[in-house]
Amino acid sequence: MLGGLILVGCGVLVQWASRPRRPRGERVEAGPPRWKETFAVALVVLGGSTQVFFLTSILPQVVHELGVTGDRTLRGSAGS
């Protein structure tokens, strides 16, 4: 949940920072929002970040079943 909120916050910051600068008084007509594309990109980013966190938590248990011995795995700095 927190990761999703962070992603939304980053998206808002990028949207705010990437607005084109225009002189005062000039009016720009924006087209309708493309919600389908927005949701597709959000799902790709959320799915990718979920996989990163999922794999790091489940991979230590899976590699043993795949035949990788303990001396061939990496260990964290805490010695876990």
- Quick check: is 25 in a domain? no
pLDDT range class, residue 78, cuts 50, 70, 90: low
Type of residue numbered 38: T
- Quick check: is 80 in a domain? no
Cα separation values, 53 from 2, 41, 50, Å:
13, 19, 5
Q: Please give the residue range of the domain that contains residue 46.
A: 34-65
- Quick check: is 49 in a domain? yes
- Quick check: is 19 in a domain? no
- Quick check: is 22 in a domain? no
Q: How many domains does the chain have?
A: 1
3-37: per-residue pLDDT in tens? 788 888 888 888 887 777 766 666 667 778 888 88
How is residue 78 written in tokens?
Answer: 């805490």
How is residue 53 written in tokens?
Answer: 């966190």
pLDDT of residue 80: 47
Higher-scoring residue by pLDDT: 47, 74 = 47
- Quick check: is 55 in a domain? yes
55-68: per-residue pLDDT in tens? 778 887 888 888 88
Output the CA torsion sign for 60, 61, 64, 70: positive
